[in-house]
C-alpha cells in the first residue's frame, strides 16, 4: 500500500510536468473510484481547469486547480498514477483518466478498487477535507519530538496501531511503522504510555530517518506500486524487517518474527525489540 514516501515520489515527479497544464477531458471506465461529488459533477468542475500545483498531505495527492477546487487522490491498496501519452497502449485496471492539453494522459490504475478520487473546494468551505483530522507531517521541519510525545502521552493502546492512526502522525503505514519500530528498538506491542523518554527520542528519530531514506529511494515496491513512468521503487532492498520473516536480523542475527498486531502483519526482531 502506498505510504508517505510513495505518494511523495509521485507528487515530486508530477509537479513540474502538470503545473500550468489544463484538463481537457476525463474518462472513467469505473466511476466507483469517484467518492465526491458524483461523477458528472466532477467532470463538469474539472474539464477546462488549469492545474496550479501538485502537493501531498499524508497519503493524499492534491492537484490544485485555478478555480479554487482541488482534485484529491488516495491510492488505496493498489493504486498507481501513470503519466502516459494519449497514443500509448492502455494498461489493465485503469479506473479513471485525465487528459491534459499537452497530450499527457494521467491514468489511475487500481486493480483492487480501494483508491478514492474527490473534487472539492481546497479551502475546506464546501465540506471537510479528507485530512481534516490528520496529525502532523512527520517530515515537516516543525514536527518536533514534543509534538509526538504529546500525541502519544497517556495512551494505553499498543504503539504499532497508534503509529498507523493518521490522526497521530500522517503518512505512516504498515511498512514504515515496522521499520521505524525496529530502528527505534521498540516492540510493536508495547503500550504507548510505557515508553521511556529515551525510547520516545529514538522513535521520533527513527520515523523521520526511515521516511526520509525511503523518499530518497523513491519508495518501496512489492507488487502493485509503480511510479508515474511505471517503474518500481528501490527502497525494498533497504528494508530491515518488513517481509523478512525468518531472515537474520541485520543487527543481531536473530530470526525476524512475524505476528499480527491490530489485524496487521507485523515484523520485528525479538532480541532487538524485547517486550
Residues in contact with Zn ion by CB under 5 A are: 249, 251-252, 254, 269, 271-272
Smallest separation, CB 272 to Zn ion (Å): 3
Q: H/E element holding 25?
A: strand 23-27
Smallest separation, CB 253 to Zn ion (Å): 7
What distance in Å separates the CA atoms of residue 32 and residue 154, rounded to the nearest whole number?
40
- C-alpha distance across the termini of the chain, in Å: 27
Residue nearest to Zn ion (CB): 249
Smallest separation, CB 214 to Zn ion (Å): 20
Active-site residue 5, yes or no? no
Look-up of cell digits 525511503: 214
Active-site residue 3, yes or no? yes
What distance in Å separates the CA atoms of residue 74 and residue 77, rounded to the nearest whole number?
9
Nearer to Zn ion, 124 or 274 (CB): 274
Nearer to Zn ion, 201 or 271 (CB): 271
Smallest separation, CB 242 to Zn ion (Å): 14
Nearer to Zn ion, 72 or 183 (CB): 183
Question: From the candidates 151, 190, 251, 264, which is the catalytic residue?
Answer: 264
Nearer to Zn ion, 193 or 254 (CB): 254
What distance in Å separates the CA atoms of residue 259 and residue 171, rounded to the nearest whole number?
22
Active-site residue 121, yes or no? no
* Cα 157 to Cα 102, 119, 148, 154, 202, distances in angstroms: 50, 35, 15, 9, 19
Q: How many CB atoms lie within 10 A of CB 19?
A: 14
Question: From the candidates 21, 45, 57, 59, which is the catalytic residue?
Answer: 59
Active-site residue 75, yes or no? no
Nearer to Zn ion, 51 or 181 (CB): 181
Please compute, for residue 174, the number of CA atoms within 13 A of its CA located in the half-sphere on the CB side: 17
Q: Residue 241: what are its φ and ψ, rounded to 5°?
A: -130, -30
What's the Rg (C-alpha) of the chain?
Answer: 20
* Alpha helix positions (H), the chain: 4-18, 39-46, 145-152, 159-164, 174-183, 197-216
Smallest separation, CB 204 to Zn ion (Å): 21
For the annotated catalytic residues, the residue numbers are: 2-3, 59, 264
Amino acid at each position: 500500500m502506498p505510504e508517505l514516501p510513495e505518494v511523495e515520489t509521485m507528487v515530486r515527479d508530477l509537479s513540474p510536468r502538470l503545473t500550468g497544464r489544463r484538463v481537457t477531458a476525463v474518462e472513467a471506465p469505473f466511476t466507483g473510484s469517484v467518492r465526491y461529488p458524483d461523477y458528472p459533477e466532477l467532470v463538469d468542475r474539472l474539464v477546462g481547469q488549469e492545474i496550479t500545483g501538485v502537493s501531498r498531505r499524508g497519503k493524499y495527492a492534491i492537484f490544485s486547480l485555478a478555480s479554487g477546487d482541488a482534485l484529491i487522490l488516495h491510492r488505496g491498496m493498489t493504486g498507481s498514477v501513470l503519466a502516459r501519452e494519449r497514443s500509448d497502449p492502455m494498461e489493465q485496471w485503469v479506473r479513471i483518466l485525465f487528459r491534459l492539453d499537452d497530450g499527457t494522459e494521467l491514468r489511475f490504475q487500481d486493480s483492487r478498487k480501494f483508491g478514492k478520487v474527490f473534487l472539492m473546494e481546497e479551502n475546506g468551505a464546501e465540506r471537510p477535507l479528507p485530512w481534516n483530522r490528520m496529525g502532523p507531517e512527520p517530515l515537516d521541519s516543525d514536527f518536533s519530538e514534543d509534538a509526538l510525545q504529546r500525541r502519544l502521552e497517556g495512551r494505553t493502546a499498543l504503539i504499532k496501531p497508534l503509529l498507523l492512526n493518521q490522526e497521530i502522525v500522517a503518512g505512516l503505514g504498515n511498512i514504515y511503522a515496522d521499520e521505524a519500530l525496529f530502528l527505534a528498538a521498540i516492540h510493536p506491542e508495547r503500550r504507548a504510555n510505557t515508553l521511556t523518554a529515551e525510547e520516545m527520542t529514538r522513535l521520533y528519530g527513527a520515523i523521520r530517518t526511515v521516511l526520509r531514506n525511503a523518499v530518497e529511494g523513491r519508495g518501496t515496491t512489492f507488487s502493485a506500486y509503480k511510479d508515474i513512468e511505471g517503474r518500481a521503487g528501490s527502497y525494498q532492498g533497504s528494508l530491515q524487517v518488513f517481509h523478512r520473516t525468518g531472515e537474520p536480523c541485520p543487527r543481531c542475527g536473530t530470526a525476524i518474527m512475524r505476528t499480527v498486531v491490530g489485524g496487521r502483519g507485523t515484523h520485528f526482531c525479538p532480541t532487538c525489540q524485547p517486550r
